[in-house]
A and B are shown apart, each in its own frame.
Chain A
């Protein structure tokens, strides 16, 4: 896998091959598989993401009872209330809930990059596919873009809350989704990198502080926030707004922040909202 986004962008500029294709070529070589096999595996990932969103059941609850039904509640408000947000934005939020809640309720999801952050990429991608009428093949290409960004983050920093806090999970997912969304909007590799940088910058320093150690509170709602942040970052990018700090350096900053974080806010459930009086009360009642 690549060591930097810069490396991929340079190959794109010199060869003319799109970002996604460069990531795919690398996969074909590393796993010794054909283009078709690599593509069809990624396409299956996208289809599994769609299943995870469409198989949602608003009646089910997680084992702890802390999570469940939110996507249904939000949909009702979007349909019957007076939401400020438009249909696309509302749909992104709803889809993020659908997938992340399903995960908490032991349903099948695609970890992208992790199970705790599994709602971000599908929410942004599926809502965009619906809005723009894109094919699954196009969506699969965008997933390669997201994967390429995630792989560089994994190399330079981390994708695990236990190592880097929530910035490594929701932050990385948001960065990946933003890069993929830019591709779907017709952006090039440099623009995807810009969106990845903007998205992660906004979430730097985010603590991983799950109440009772479960992937429920605040994780599920942070998926919604991560998805919206990805949309914002992609839109800023398409408007020509540049990140002053390049993506690779943002990833390095994330790594440094992760290392300096107190272990209490790295998935131990000992700090942050997990250590609030209510958080402790919940833990004791489970």
Chain B
């Protein structure tokens, strides 16, 4: 208890965990220092790449039949020696960053019927360790992701279906596409509030005024399917997608 008292005394600012609208997507914790457990050789070019693939796999939410993978910057330049290609494909077939089968991911993709091709590209002033991945699902759905590997195995999804976004894949993330009109933010956040779901970060993006807007909400808790369905039913909400790190 004494320790608790002192920590409270010394570190009052650490206790404030209120929802904020911020650009800082993800706070490091000590398991970013000791960790992650990963397949080598590079946390940015291998583990980060596997994580990007894995986040894409979860964002797709269905079996991926075909994936077009474009490598930018250092990913294109030194990716092969780091196994970036193998790691991205491993993630796309659902392997985690510490799965020892990563070096064999091309064979696993073949077994699972995932057709992929990998090429170099120039994504302009994107982060040097970036990849663009276009996925085609069995239902015919197409999802396009641009993501960057930030170092230490941490990543950032920078674009989703052509809209600029910014999330880390560390927290349950709700992505709401809505008509750019007043009131939708309150609608969404109050629904989450009613469910006792705490918001970690929140970002707003729009293509143009009055057009389509996107809310990216990283949460401390999982958002249950019923809540997501309820959101989808609201007028003016065009689409709700969800990513869970688990």
Contact = CB atoms under 8 A, between A and B. Distances in A.
Interface residues of A, number: 63
Given A111-B35, A160-B151, A213-B81, A26 B14 contact: yes
A215 B82 contact: yes
Given A29-B14, A106-B103, A215-B82, A115 B43 contact: yes
A117 B94 CA distance: 27
A159 B7 contact: no
Interface stretch (A97-105, A199-207, A239-247, A249-257): A97-105
A31 B152 contact: no
Given A11-B6, A63-B81, A162-B151, A215 B40 contact: yes
Contacts of A30: 14, 27, 29
A147 B30 contact: yes
A150 interface: yes
A103 B40 contact: yes
Interface string B6-35: 110011001100000000000111111111
Q: State the main secondary structure of chain B at its contact with A.
A: helix
B82 A214 contact: yes
Contacts of A10: 10
* Interface core residue of B28, B34, B77 (most chain A CB under 10 Å): B34
B42 A215 contact: yes
A147 B44 CA distance: 20
A27 B83 CA distance: 32
B12 to A, nearest CB: 12
Contacts of A32: 220
B25 to A, nearest CB: 15
Contact of B35 (A14, A45, A269): A45
B148 interface: no
A168 to B, nearest CB: 10
B83 A15 contact: no
A106 B28 contact: no
Contact of A286 (B4, B43, B81, B153): B81
A123 interface: no
9 contacts: A15-B6, A41-B31, A48-B98, A104-B41, A109-B39, A151-B30, A160-B151, A213-B78, A286-B81
